[in-house]
Chains A and B, each alone.
Chain A
Amino acid sequence: MQEMIVNRLRELLASGDYAGVIGWSKGETPFDRTPGLFTEKDLDRLCYDSFCGSNLSKYLIANAKDKKVIALLKPCDCYSFNQMCTEHRIQRENVYVIGVGCKGKIDGEKIRNGGIKGITGVSEEGDLLKIETLYGEKEISRKDVLLDKCLSCKGKEHKCADEVIGESEDTSVGNKYELVEKLDAMTPEERFEFWRGELSKCIRCNACRNACPACSCIKCVFDNPKSGVENKAAADDFEENLFHIIRAYHVAGRCTDCGECSRACPQGIPLHLLNRKIIKDINELYGDYQAGEEIGQRHPLTDFTFEDDEPSVVERRGGGK
Chain B
Amino acid sequence: MMKKISFQDLPRLFREISETQTLIAPIEKCGQVNFGVWTPDSTLRLDALKTVKSAKGAFFPQVEDIVHFRMKDKTIDIHPAEVLTEDFVIFGVRACDARSFELLDRVFLADPVDPFYAARRKHGTVVTLACNQPEETCFCTNFGIDAADPCGDVTAWMDRDTLYLRANTEKGEALISRLENGEEAPVEDLKKSIGEILKKLPLNDLNLTGFDGDHLMEKFNDPKWEELARGCLGCGTCTFVCPTCQCYDVRDFDAGENGIQRYRCWDSCMFSDFTLMAHGTNRPTQTERFRQRFMHKLVYFPAKNEGLYSCVGCGRCLEKCPQSIHIVNVIKSLGVKEDD
A263: chain B residues within 8 A (beta carbon)? 322
Considering the complex, give the chain B residue whose CB is closest to the CB of A207: B235
* A-contact bits for B268-284, CB 8 A (1 contact / 0 none): 10011100100000000
SS of B interface (majority): loop
**Smallest beta-carbon distance A130→chain B, Å:** 16
Query: Is the pair A211, B322 in contact by a Cβ cutoff of 8 Å?
Result: yes
Query: Is the pair B62, A201 in contact by a Cβ cutoff of 8 Å?
Result: no
B237: chain A residues within 8 A (beta carbon)? 203, 205, 207, 264, 266
Query: Is the pair A206, B273 in contact by a Cβ cutoff of 8 Å?
Result: no
Query: Is the pair B231, A267 in contact by a Cβ cutoff of 8 Å?
Result: no
A80 within 8 Å of B (CB atoms): no
A150 within 8 Å of B (CB atoms): no
Bound-state Cα–Cα, A224 to B271, Å? 11
Tell me the chain B residues, 165-194 only, with Cβ under 8 Å from chain A.
none
Interface-side segment among A115-123, A141-149, A174-182, A279-287? A115-123
B234: chain A residues within 8 A (beta carbon)? 210
Tell me the chain A residues, 180-236 only, with Cβ under 8 Å from chain B.
197-198, 200-201, 203-207, 209-211, 219, 223-225, 230-235
Tell me the chain B residues, 42-65 only, with Cβ under 8 Å from chain A.
49, 52-53, 62-63
Tell me the chain B residues, 295-340 only, with Cβ under 8 Å from chain A.
318-320, 322-326, 328-329, 332
Query: Is the pair B200, A223 in contact by a Cβ cutoff of 8 Å?
Result: no
**Smallest beta-carbon distance B271→chain A, Å:** 7
Query: Is the pair A36, B231 in contact by a Cβ cutoff of 8 Å?
Result: yes
Bound-state Cα–Cα, A220 to B275, Å? 17
Given A134-B134, A134-B201: A235 touches B320 (CB 8 Å cut-off)? no
A112: chain B residues within 8 A (beta carbon)? 135, 319
A219: chain B residues within 8 A (beta carbon)? 272
B230 within 8 Å of A (CB atoms): yes
Considering the complex, give the chain A residue whose CB is closest to the CB of B61: A233
Interface size class of A (residues with CB under 8 A): 35 or more
Interface-side segment among B30-38, B95-103, B111-119? B30-38
**Smallest beta-carbon distance B140→chain A, Å:** 14
Query: Is the pair B271, A223 in contact by a Cβ cutoff of 8 Å?
Result: yes
Bound-state Cα–Cα, A157 to B29, Å? 39
Interface-side segment among A4-12, A24-32, A162-170, A297-305? A24-32
Query: Is the pair B230, A36 in contact by a Cβ cutoff of 8 Å?
Result: yes
B240 within 8 Å of A (CB atoms): yes
B9 within 8 Å of A (CB atoms): no
A31: chain B residues within 8 A (beta carbon)? 324
Bound-state Cα–Cα, A138 to B73, Å? 71
Query: Is the pair B273, A223 in contact by a Cβ cutoff of 8 Å?
Result: yes
Considering the complex, give the chain A residue whose CB is closest to the CB of B324: A32
Given A28-B329, A34-B231, A36-B231: A235 touches B261 (CB 8 Å cut-off)? yes
**Smallest beta-carbon distance B19→chain A, Å:** 26
Query: Is the pair A134, B136 in contact by a Cβ cutoff of 8 Å?
Result: yes
B263: chain A residues within 8 A (beta carbon)? 233, 235
Choose among B233, B251, B253, B267 the residue with the greatest number of A CB atoms under 10 Å from its CB. B233
Bound-state Cα–Cα, A129 to B16, Å? 46
Tell me the chain A residues, 32-53 only, with Cβ under 8 Å from chain B.
32-37
Given A134-B136, A205-B235, A225-B276: A35 touches B323 (CB 8 Å cut-off)? yes
List residues of chain B with CB under 8 Å of any chain A CB.
29-32, 34, 49, 52-53, 62-63, 133-137, 197, 200-203, 227, 230-231, 233-237, 239-241, 249, 251, 253, 261, 263, 265-268, 271-273, 276, 318-320, 322-326, 328-329, 332
User: Can you spell out 22 A-B residue pairs with CB atoms less than 8 angstroms apart?
Assistant: A27-B325, A28-B202, A28-B332, A32-B324, A109-B319, A112-B135, A117-B135, A118-B135, A133-B136, A134-B133, A134-B136, A203-B237, A203-B241, A205-B235, A207-B237, A211-B322, A232-B266, A233-B62, A233-B251, A263-B322, A264-B237, A267-B32
Known contacts A28-B328, A134-B136; 12 additional CB pairs below 8 A are A34-B329, A117-B135, A119-B135, A210-B233, A210-B234, A225-B273, A232-B249, A233-B63, A235-B63, A264-B237, A266-B52, A266-B237
